[in-house]
Structure 1
């Protein structure tokens, strides 16, 4: 019996149109799409457009193409949305990369990214034309936002416009199969920027104990040998930074373990494309002057080619296969911003303003368009969280979940940022700083103008704080747009809701240092319910303490320590308790003679406890005393009866009385403080909450990892869903995002 051969299955030809939105321009997406099409034998095209990327693929493997596209995105790419539409066959056999279509700017620039492994291979390969070239980059790494003047993102719109391609770089730039296809900052020693000093000269100066100002990606760093106590102390004196911790830069992952004990998740964050500073447990192998009194150390990996070259020189110019070996040479790397001014980015300004700080000023001839400090992060409650959001993350947007009006939100006065919304996205600028400094306020205005120009939007409203004296408020008033004002702590809660995609009403707590209340008072420990229409209700607060001296009380914990005695009705004991402080008796007399405004601030409660536990010195930086207490905690435990709940007010007076009467040592006191605050705040928040609801936790005190993690855990155990800041800092760095979310709600409600 004969059997007929089975007929071959017919392969169905299809053509799909894909519209992609997200981080898909300037990240090597078009050559990636081109390579995938070659793999699956497909024809069609890919092009950038005003909304992102549009591509069409035709052939028998279009479904496999789409699956691979989702699965194998380039390192810096991110898909926020992909629309897929079948279209008519056109018979295309080849796949081509088309030029950009015109239209209003609706795309975005990717954030700066650390040098990738392939570029490091080139950097240390003697046969590469990029050998030891301190500006090597490709589509997967290098500067983006910090060198872009305007959109669309192409070389003519960046500070690389004045550098003409050599033949080799021009060929790489035009070749879709090349890793440097349309890498806008591409250059080599023949045609690109140059350093003013060689890496060997720089490293020799550092080894000799000198302080070096080095121009990098987002501005100048001040560098010194982290192991040289004399150099670190001189840097502190010259920069007028008495005690605020410095971060260190190390050569590679293996080197981190010589100075700290990173967890696996912390190592993963360190090596992410942003290469942020990450707080990790310190081994205390470096001089105490690096991070005085701190249990954790800020660590970052070398992220620019010039950094790798410094460590390469320090290691005796080791070969490529040795670059991942541990190296005990570490650098203090701190922002070059003398006197609280913004980060310096220009060569002439560096030579003028850093001459009294740095022994050597190293420049290069590629302009920095947008200054950006290093981002600072930690892990909180199992997730990465920001202490400062800047290089490596800005200007990546936060998805607000739905389209809405464009708003300019102006943030606060300290740790200032601005937010511009466009469609469903919120773009938060890099950390700006304290607006009291004139140069910083100028930088703030530049940041607003740059963001609005890049996004090509005209805001329908300017949102700001209630405080009339904040320069950010005045900036909003002078913007020309209608002004919407929002209470400080309502904006903190709204910021947490915005990044978690919460719409409508939201219950939460804002725990921080200061914010003007609707009653004109000094708030800072608030339980609030947002109504989903831009308003809120104050449901409760931390019991008030006297705030004698206003802003001075935030800098001098002794004042809050005396306020604790006053709250307990024991003011006559204060001078004796603080007998070692000459000014204590005089301050106690002034307290007794004058009325002082009250504050519900949890930050000032921390200061009061710090003073009672022996940390009454003037604070060199905001939160210093509280950070030292956090560093002492190993296992927080609550004082029985250490707080009282009454009428939605949580009062920690019993804890303060215990500190005065029992005089625990600093460690036991720090553990009692944290444990009692966590238990008391948890009970207080649960009392005003609805069963099982989400509770947003915002404000600067949530930068305290122990407080944030254990309070979230306690609320979780009580059946609630705590929401913590992850995409923005919980402090005033996230305030503008909350203002923007509230303003959109008001505008959309009509």
Structure 2
């Protein structure tokens, strides 16, 4: 609202205006900001939290009121964000003073629940000041930092509805809480050593070993000695170990049952981060931001101190983060060396968030437990992002990002979206917004399914959602699909790859027409096959499958997801037929003679060998053929190996361009000549790294060629394959050079972690499929 809008009838007279404000306005210092602003203009009135945002009334001279209205929007600072202001001129009451009034709870919940925030510099300075009463207090926070989503029970956001209700403020903290000059003025998480949460060090059997400062000292010594520490952080437990100690890291891998997947590392400072990895300006900004995510960085070969090689075996990148809580800062300052900081769970299970859970599930992994008595009400793992071409792509949306609020004007009737099966997350849609909840995990284990149910309950309760419709993936076998069907609501099954495209469109505020390039490992196709190399053309209310990669068979079905050598045999059989079995190549050599006989029968008869058009499985096939990965111990391992090989290339080997044909109105991209040339070049001695780079070039060429043929200007890149920096950067650059407008994911995960957003968007639109 700008001055001179005519809202105030007569600036010379006293006026009273009521404002209903929506946006990120709770838990971010908005009420103290409004209080100070009103007092500075000499206005009376009040501000209060409500279930749907903030209610604010101001009364005073007309010019002062209008200045207040203009300044309110102009001077508000992140993380506070005003989305909408509904003003109304009301009757005067004669009020001269301004106050922060008690919250009201009658409205339907609709407030933006804030993500947890990393420790601010002011709090860190206090914690490091021997003269300050919060000196070395591991739960120091203020209006600008600390837990939010992880501790909230209900809205409005007040201490009585958070986990901090268990801690009565002492007189000193209460004085700060009521002092308009303090940055803890109405800070609901305010606490100090006299009245706040306390540290405890426990043994693996739960016995108390030490408390407070002594607990921290002993925990630090345990890490120095090579022990594994389970630390209760902001949103759940982490497993910590000396990242320089190869034997300790090996022990963690064995106990966690995580043989190869890279571990995240916490560096004690930005200087230490620079010593471990190459850090660009954009990457540093993210590392030091209030989100404080894990950032994927390129490791230094001359890193000092050097990390144990098994922290990220065969991986040139490292997932690095900085301390983000007072507890982390204190611990890292005491240690002076980097630590592995991985999720506190066994592989395939969700994050442990309370002491009972941690001692039960992590006692066989951790030697000691550094915990505290502040409850974690909503477990939140660490977020992960990668900076690609100077812009961040969020790979896992969790602490600092979630709940993520997105705008979608189509959202009217409330919808609950349940995501897919891998990298599960839940979203809710209503009132022109979609809110994506935090990462939960893969829905294979009983424990993760229970965490998934808890996430559904917490998201619907916090946002007051009574869903009229439940959206899920179209795959009939997913646990999330079964949950949707059991809810007894109108179930909307969103096509997997269409949901990917829609999530990218919401992320970029796009409407049709759009060409979506949806490339991933697995997705249920409407023709009964496995899709994953898709080009979907979207209009305003229709969509169609415009193009796809040539399908090939996956011998063993789901087993091929874990064994790239199987995908390779399927692709090579599509190329060579029966002649394959007389060839010498890496994929065949990876099987025994008896296994080859079984696989041959599968491929020739099509038994237990479903067709797939998946770009992810084509990556797997190339990884196997080039000898980079025959068996994968984690999702994406083979594709990552191909990307890393391409980065080592001295020059990309030129592979023949894609052969594109049309079949029943749908373009088909034939990769067989490319794969045949790749095989011939490999057997002739061409370096595998150069061939991996050439394969990336071929993929980009396919994207541009098909985009030209379809002719839609805006092209969105979505799906797990676009976590690949080389593929994404080159595709964007080549599309732009060809006259297209490329878009990719920024805030919403490009993989299955963003599916729920696309499902909510689909439920609000109900696009119809064009048949050709």
Deviation string, structure 1 residues 240-288 (Cα, Å, up to 9, x no partner): 1111111111122222111011110111111111111111121142222
User: 1:77-114 CA deviation, whole Å, 9 max, x = no partner?
Assistant: 11222345566766654332222233222213211000
Which residue among 141, 147, 151 is the counterpart of 2:151? 147
2: CA distance, partners of 1:106 / 1:579: 55
Gaps of 5+ in 2: 1-9, 202-214
Q: CA deviation at 1:570?
A: 5.3
Name the structure 2 match of 1:180. 184
2:247 to 224, 230, 244: 230
One of 267, 283, 286 as aligned partner of 1:266 = 283
Question: 1:47 Cα shift?
Answer: 2.2
Instruction: Give the corresponding residue for 2:728.
Output: 708
Does 1:687 find its partner at 2:700? no
User: Partner residue of 2:644?
Assistant: 631
- 1:190 and 1:62 mapped to 2: Cα distance? 42
Q: Which moved more, 1:624-633 or 1:206-215?
A: 624-633
CA distance in 2, matches of 1:727, 1:670: 29
Specify which of 581, 584, 600 is matched with residue 613 of structure 2: 600
Do the aligned residues in 2 keep the contact of 1:686 with 1:715 (CA within 8 Å)? no
| Counterpart mapping for 1:2-151 below 5 A | 15=15, 17-57=18-58, 58-59=60-61, 60-84=63-87, 92-101=95-104, 102-151=106-155
1:243 matched to 2:248? The reply is no
Q: How does 1:301-450 map to 2 (within 5 A)?
A: 301-315=322-336, 329-450=337-458
Give the 3 Å change call, closer, same or farther, for CA 747–25 of structure 1 in structure 2: farther
**Do the aligned partners of 1:495 and 1:735 also contact (CA within 8 Å) in 2?**
yes
CA RMSD of aligned residues (A): 2.3
Say if 2:42 and 2:64, in contact at 8 Å, map to a contact too: yes
CA–CA distance in 2 between the matches of 1:134 and 1:488?
A: 44
1:506 maps to what in 2? 514
Of stretches 583-592 and 202-211 in structure 1, the one that deviates more from structure 2 is 583-592
**Paired residue secondary structure (1:19):** strand
- Equivalence for 1:641: 656
Alpha-carbon offset, residue 175 of structure 1: 2.8
8 Å contact kept, 1:431–1:733: yes
Normalised by the size of structure 1, how large is the TM-score? Answer: 0.92
The answer on whether the counterparts of 2:586 and 2:626 sit within 8 Å (CA) in structure 1 is: no
**SS in structure 1 of the partner of residue 164 of structure 2:** coil
The gaps in structure 1 that reach 5 residues or longer are 1-9, 316-328
Provide the secondary structure at the position in 2 that maps to 1:222: strand
Greater mean alpha carbon deviation, residues 739-748 or residues 29-38: 739-748
After superposition, the C-alpha distances for 1:566-602 in whole angstroms (9 at most, x for unaligned) are 1211553455213883515444433432323211000
The number of residue pairs the alignment matches comes to: 724
Q: Residue 662 of structure 1 corresponds to which residue in structure 2?
A: 681
3-state SS of paired residue (1:356): coil
* 1:564 corresponds to 2:577: no
Distance in 2 of aligned mates of 1:553 and 1:642: 27
Contact 1:494 1:742 in 2 (8 A): yes
Q: In 2, distance between residues paired with 1:700 and 1:396?
A: 20
Alignment partner of 1:287 out of 301, 304, 308:
308
Deviation at 1:733, TM superposition (A): 0.7
Are 1:642 and 1:653, in contact at CA under 8 Å, matched by a contact in 2?
no
- Deviation of residue 216 (structure 1)? 0.7
1:614 and 2:627 aligned: yes
Cα pair 1:565 1:571 within 8 Å, conserved? no
Give distance in 2, aligned partners of 1:49 and 1:363: 33
Instruction: State the distance in 1 between where 2:411 and 2:760 align.
Output: 13
Match of 1:739 in 2: 759
CA shift for structure 1 position 168 = 1.4
1:655 CA drift (Å)? 2.2
Instruction: Render the CA deviation track for 1:451-481: whole Å, top value 9, x for unaligned.
Output: 1111112101111112111000000001121
Distance in 1 separating the partners of 2:587 and 2:614: 26
How big is the shift at 1:414? 0.8
Mapped pair 1:297 → 2:297: no
Shift of residue 312, structure 1, vs aligned partner: 2.3
* Closer/same/farther in 2, CA of residues 396 and 591 from structure 1, 3 Å limit: closer
Corresponding residue number in structure 2 for 1:472:
480
